[in-house]
Structure 1
Amino acid sequence: MLAVLGVLAAGVAIVWLELPKLRKLGTREKAAFYAFLAFSLGLGLAKSLRLPVPNPLDWIAYAYKPFSDFLFGLLK
């Protein structure tokens, strides 16, 4: 529970520090900032609650597996 509060406090601190700069930016930049912040806070909350978070390297290995098998088949 304390870890969840820590992640949320970090998110509030980031918004508090970036708010003066965000006021000068356009709507698209603000939307991108808040989207990335929400995504990162979601991942941080999932990790703090010890939920399984997918590893991007597994996705890359899955995507390149057929090509890798093809190349290793040629080299045998």
Structure 2
Amino acid sequence: MLAVAGILAASVMIVAIEVPSLLKNGQIKELWAFSVLLLLGIGLSVAVALHVDIPNPLNAYIAVFKPVSDFLFAFLK
């Protein structure tokens, strides 16, 4: 639980540093991108800190390309 508090504290500090300059310069699109990416990062970091099993995106690529690879290796032998 301490790790989650640390993640939230760090993200609050990042927001306090970055958001005022983005608002001052009128960078609304950048603020949206920053917010979405920060929320995604916070969510994943909290999930890792709480030991939630997060699937690896490479498993989907392996599932797709493994049969193709097996076929090519069988064909070349």
Same fold flag (TM > 0.5): yes
Deviation at 1:36, TM superposition (A): 0.5
* Correspondence 1:59 to 2:57: no
Q: Answer with 36-45 or 66-75: which moved more.
A: 66-75
Give me the TM-score of the superposition, normalised by structure 1.
0.84
Please identify runs of 4+ aligned residues in structure 1 that moved more than 6 A. none
TM-score of the two chains, using structure 2 as the length reference:
0.83
Give the letter aligned to residue 72 of structure 1. Answer: F
Percent identity, please: 46
Q: How many pairs does the alignment contain?
A: 76
Q: Distance in 2 between matches of 1:75 and 1:17?
A: 57
In structure 1, the residue matched to 2:12 is: 12
Unaligned runs of 5+ in 2: none
CA contact (8 A) 2:22 2:28 kept: no
Give the unaligned 5+ runs of structure 1: none
Distance in 2 (CA, whole Å) between partners of 1:58 and 1:41 is 23
Moved more, 30-39 or 11-20: 11-20
Aligned counterparts of 1:63 and 1:22: Cα–Cα separation in 2? 41
Pairing of 1:36-47 with structure 2 (within 5 A)? 36-47=37-48
For 1:45 and 1:69, locate their aligned partners in 2 and report how far apart those are by CA, in whole Å: 38
Q: Partner amino acid for 1:65?
A: K
Q: 9-18 or 33-42, which moves further after superposition?
A: 9-18
Please give the root-mean-square deviation of Cα atoms over the aligned residues, in Å.
1.5
2: distance between equivalents of 1:20 and 1:11? 14
